[in-house]
A and B are shown apart, each in its own frame.
Chain A
Amino acid sequence: MNEQITHMTKEVTAGKLTRREFMGKAAALGVSAVVASTMFADAARAAGPKKGGDLKLGLQGGESTNSLDPATYASSVPYMNGRHFGDTLVEVAPDGTIESRLAESVEGSADAKVWTFKLRQGVEFHNGKTMTSEDVLKTMERHSNEDSQSGALGIMRGIESMKADGENFQVTLTEANADLPYLMSDYHLVIQPDGGMENPAAGISTGPYQVEVDEPGVRHVFTKFANYWNDDAHFDTVENVVINDATARTAALQSGQVQLANRIEPKVADLLGRAPNITVQSTPGRGHYVFIMHCDTAPFDNNELRTALKYAINRADLVDKVLRGYGSIGNDMPINSAYPLFDETIEQREFSVEKAAEHYKKSGHDGSPIILRVADGAFPGAVDAASLFQQTAAQAGIPLEIKREPNDGYWSEVWNVQPFCASYWGGRPVQDQMYATAYLSSADWNDTRFKVQSFDDLLFSARAELDAEKRKGIYSQMGRMVRDEGGLICPMFNNFVDASSNALDGWETDPNGELMNGQVSRKLWFV
Chain B
Amino acid sequence: MHPIIKLVSQRLALGLLLLFGASALIFGLTEALPGDAAQAVLGQSATPEALANLREEMGLNRPALTRYFEWLGGIVQGDLGQSLTNKLDIAESIGKRLGNTLFLACVAAIVSVPLAIFLGLLAVRYRNRWPDKLISAITLTTVSIPEFLIGYVVIYYVSVKLGWFSSLAMINDSMSFGQKLNAIALPAFVLTLVVLAQMMRMTRAAILNLMQSAYIETAELKGLSTFQVIARHAFPNAISPIVNVVMLNLAYLVVGVVVVEVVFVYPGMGQYLVDAVTKRDVPVVLACGVVFAAVYIGLNMVADIVSILANPRLRHPK
Q: Mark B29-73, 1 if CB is under 8 A from A, else 0.
A: 000011100011111111111100110010000000000000000
Query: Cβ of B40 and Cβ of A412 under 8 Å apart?
Result: yes
Q: Which of B235-292 contact A (CB under 8 A)?
A: 262-265, 267, 271-272, 275-276, 278-279, 281, 284
Count of residues in A whose CB is under 8 Å from the partner chain: 42
Mark A394-418 against chain B: 1 for CB-CB distance below 8 A, else 0: 0000000000000011011101000
Instruction: Please indicate the chain B residues that have their CB under 8 angstroms from the CB of A252 in the complex.
Output: 167-168, 265
Which of A244, A251, A411 makes the CB contact (< 8 A) with B160? A251
CB of A332 to closest CB in B, whole Å = 21
Instruction: List, in ascending order, chain A residues with CB within 8 A of B96's CB.
Output: 215
Q: Which residues of B contact A66 (CB under 8 A)?
A: 85-86
> Which of these, A153, A219, A257, contacts B50 with CB under 8 Å?
A153
- Given known contacts A65-B41, A72-B41, A251-B160, is B168 in contact with A217 (CB within 8 Å)? no
Which of A244, A251, A411 counts the most chain B CB atoms within 10 A? A251
Say yes or no: is A35 at the interface (Cβ < 8 Å to chain B): no
Contact residues in A for B156 (Cβ distance below 8 Å): 251
Contact A65 B33 (CB under 8 A): no
Given the known inter-chain contacts A153-B47, A251-B159, please indicate yes or no for A74 contacting B41, CB distance below 8 A.
Answer: yes
Residues of chain A with a CB closer than 8 A to B267's CB? 215, 217-218
Which residues of chain A from 387 to 445 have any CB-CB distance to chain B below 8 Å in the complex?
408-409, 411-413, 415, 444-445
The smallest C-beta distance from A260 to any residue of chain B, in angstroms, reads 14
Bound CA–CA A149/B271 (angstroms): 26
B43 smallest CB distance to A (angstroms):
5
Q: Are B50 and A409 in contact (CB under 8 A)?
A: no
- Residue B87 at the chain A interface, CB threshold 8 Å: yes
B198 in contact (CB, < 8 A): no
Q: Name the distance in Å between A112's Cβ and chain B's nearest Cβ.
A: 24
Contact, CB under 8 Å: A244 / B42? no
* Bound form: Cα–Cα A411–B278 in Å: 12
Asked whether B40 lies within 8 Å of A146 as measured between CB atoms, the reply is: no
Chain B contacts of A67 at CB under 8 A? 85-87
The 0/1 profile, CB within 8 Å of A marked 1, for residues 151-193 of chain B is: 0100110011001001110101000000000000000000000
Whether, in the assembled complex, A241 has its beta carbon less than 8 Å from a beta carbon of chain B, the answer is: yes
B88 in contact (CB, < 8 A): yes
The answer to whether B263 touches A65, judged by C-beta atoms less than 8 angstroms apart, is no
Residue count of chain B within 8 Å CB distance of chain A: 50
B281 touches A257 (CB 8 A): no
Q: State whether A216 touches B265 (Cβ < 8 A).
A: no
Interface of chain A: mostly helix, strand, loop or mixed: loop
- A409: chain B residues within 8 A (beta carbon): 33-35
Residues of A within 8 A of B85 (CB): 65-67, 72
Establish whether residues B93 and A411, one from each chain, have CB atoms under 8 Å apart when the complex forms.
no
Contact B275 A149 (CB under 8 A): no
Q: Are B262 and A245 in contact (CB under 8 A)?
A: yes
Which residues of chain B are near A413, meaning CB under 8 Å? 34-35
Which of B46, B86, B93, B281 gathers most chain A CB within 10 Å? B86
Q: Is A149 touching B42 in the complex (CB atoms < 8 A)?
A: yes
Given A72-B41, A412-B40; A65-B170 close (CB under 8 Å): no
Contact of A63 among B39, B45, B87, B275 (CB under 8 A): B275
Q: List 29 A-B contacts (CB under 8 A).
A: A63-B279, A64-B275, A65-B83, A65-B85, A65-B279, A66-B86, A67-B86, A72-B41, A146-B49, A146-B53, A151-B45, A153-B49, A215-B96, A216-B86, A217-B271, A247-B152, A247-B263, A248-B155, A248-B262, A248-B265, A251-B155, A251-B159, A255-B166, A255-B167, A411-B39, A412-B35, A412-B40, A415-B44, A445-B45
Closest 8 interchain pairs by CB?
Answer: A65-B85, A412-B35, A67-B86, A409-B34, A63-B275, A218-B267, A412-B39, A64-B275
If A74-B44, A242-B265, A412-B35 are given as contacts, then 5 extra A-B residue pairs at C-beta distance below 8 Å, sorted by A number, are A154-B45, A247-B155, A248-B168, A248-B264, A255-B160
